[in-house]
Amino acid sequence: MDASNCEENLPPHKPEANGNGHAPSAVAAHQESKGFQDDGQEKERFLDAYQRTPSRMEIAESSSEHSDSGDRDKWGSHREYLLSMIGFCVGIGNIWRFPYVCIRNGGGVFLIPFFLSILLCALPLFFLESTLGQFLQQGPIHVWRSLCPLSKGIGLSMNMICLLTGWYYTVLIAWSLVYAFHSFRSPLPWTLCDQSWNTENCVPNSHLARALSKGTVSLESVNGTSADSNMTSIFSLYNMTDTNQTWLNVSDLQNLSNAVNPEARSASEEFWLHNVLEISSGLEDMSGLPWHTVLALFLATLVIAMGIAKGIKTSGKVVYVTATLPYILLTVLLIKGATLPGASKGVNFYIKPDFSKLLQMETWVEAAIQVFFSLGVSYGSLITMASFNKFKNNCLRDSMVVCLVGECTSVYGGFAIFTVLGHMAHIYDQPVETYARSGPGLAFVVYPEAIAQLPFPQFWGLLFFLMLFTLGLDSQFNVMETLLTDIVDLHPRLFSKWRVALTGVVMGFVFLLSIPFAARGGVYLFQLVDWYIAAYTVIMVGILECVIVGWVYGTDYFQKDLEMMLGRKKHIFTLLWKYVTPMLLTAWHSTLGVAVGRADLTLWPPQAEQDSRRSSHAPDATHPAQISLLIVSSITL
């Protein structure tokens, strides 16, 4: 990109004072600069005015007064901003993706590349975006257009990422609602095999399903010699307490000893696949809409719309509940899990280091992807939320606090997950890795089955899915607010008056777009979008952010902007923005095929375990749907 193309949009931090002695805002300076013609003398005078910096502190004070006295909404308190940012960064991925990525990449040793990715890539970009939003008091599109007209595509791409995220993320919240409602039933429906959605392949739990699929269930493997004693032992081993209503009876014992059923599935898996999803044969078959999923999708969309109806005036208050409740529920689940037999087995598996993984490139790539997933860097939401701050807010301190809290929550959540999975492994006398899964397989198959083993499972099930629901809400609040803020910034006086109606229209549009995810083949589309939107586009956006600020706009100008807001420059970030961060991101982006190739695009169980009994059919890497997603998410760049 040629820096000369940005000269007519010169940095907004050196404006001349107006007649009242106050410096115009950054946006006003930007608009004023557009009015200059290419007349040499006039342009020279304008450049000279920008190069003179008689008193930067006076400019900072007048800019602060201007921004704080404007019509733009402000956070009710600094606490609201921090809670909103933490709520945005701590999402469902912290619970269902991080623990699995961690154990797949060396357990405790994964924290080394993970936190290095935060320090060298995520924190610099987090701080950069927060600074831009706070300084220019605008949404992503207008911020990048103000820095350089040619970089407007970065803002457009951020909005496209938010639209695509809002497109599929709502159905994830809807699935959590479906499970939360079913948690009131007794017995829990995902523990039953005699329901309308079950097939003849249903068995009470995943351990028995796995044994049947491999042909390892036999009379000789169960203690005792008589039929009655064998019957009792089998029911005890497989946690089946009602011998009169189960599919297994004494006359079936001999048949069971020779049983091999490659299609055997646990009750929790069948509930997920055939009741919640009503899953089709593949991505090509999207026919049919399960009414309960569509209803949950509508309710989730309605709750999100109500939370952001009046912008941060409503969402800033809602986060006092939605941002804090997950920590309470997660702590309760962790305490309960820590008291269960076998909890230490799960924890040891979670944190046991495998240092050989540090020598594998995919470990470092997946660490970077996980950081971008969880902190929401390059989505534009950080710019949007910071634009409602006061001009003098210490955005560096806030960036460090949010990054630390958000990523420590990922580690903390892993303990809550693996204590319960360790207990499940203890019950069935199986290795913990048998139940270590990612994504829907963990949240909607394994963990619900593990919860069913606890006393008062309805209570624990409700806590878990309520936690997922609130985690999803916070992230979706900020994603949708980014889109709405950029729309409002197009014509603030007009759209501000109609903010509630505008929110309703946008959320209605998102609801209609999301309906395909509720279809019987929607989960295939969900997993494609979940991987291919974040894996490629957000890292490319991060690279371009560093290039524009570091080399086009210039870190010298940017450091002076920081000095205006924070009172001093942060020179260490110059090195990061110009060299370290873009170089690392470029290296990781060039090897993303490795990580995406390891993506678990199957629903359950993972690829290695379903050679003969796939429960889903993930397209190959050249599937048109995947190529289309990459083009749509990055075309605005």
90 annotated as a binding-site residue: yes
Give one word for 311, left, alpha or beta, with left for phi > 0 and alpha for psi -120 to 50: left
H/E segment holding residue 49: helix 40-51
Q: 166 a known binding residue?
A: no
**Amino acid occupying residue 137:** Q
Residue with tokens 């402000």: 74
- Asked whether the beta carbons of 457 and 182 are under 8 A apart, the reply is no
What whole-number distance in Å separates Cα of residue 292 and Cα of residue 180? Answer: 12
- Length of the chain as a residue count: 637
CA distance 271 to 521: 16
Question: Is 622 exposed, middle or buried (CB count within 10 Å of its CB: 0-12, 13-18, 19+)?
Answer: exposed
Tell me if 475 is assigned to a ligand binding site: yes
**What residues have CB less than 8 Å from 568, skipping those under 6 apart?**
562
Q: Is 198 annotated as a binding residue?
A: no
Dmax (CA) of the chain: 105
Whether residue 374 is annotated as binding a ligand: the answer is: yes
Confirm whether residue 530 is marked as ligand binding. no
Report residue 193: phi and psi, to 5°: -125, 5
371 is in an annotated binding site: no
Helix (H, G, I), strand (E, B) or coil at 429: coil
Q: Is the distance from CB of 96 to CB of 442 less than 8 angstroms?
A: yes
**Share in percent of the chain as helix, strand, coil (round to 5):** 70, 0, 30
Listed in sequence order, the residues at least 6 apart from 272 whose beta carbon sits closer than 8 Å to its beta carbon are: 190, 440, 444, 445, 603, 604
Task: Estimate to the nearest angstrom the gap between the alpha carbon of 578 and the chain centroid.
Answer: 27
Q: Return binding residues.
A: 87, 90, 94, 374, 471, 474-475
Q: Return binding residues for Na(+).
A: 87, 90, 94, 374, 471, 474-475
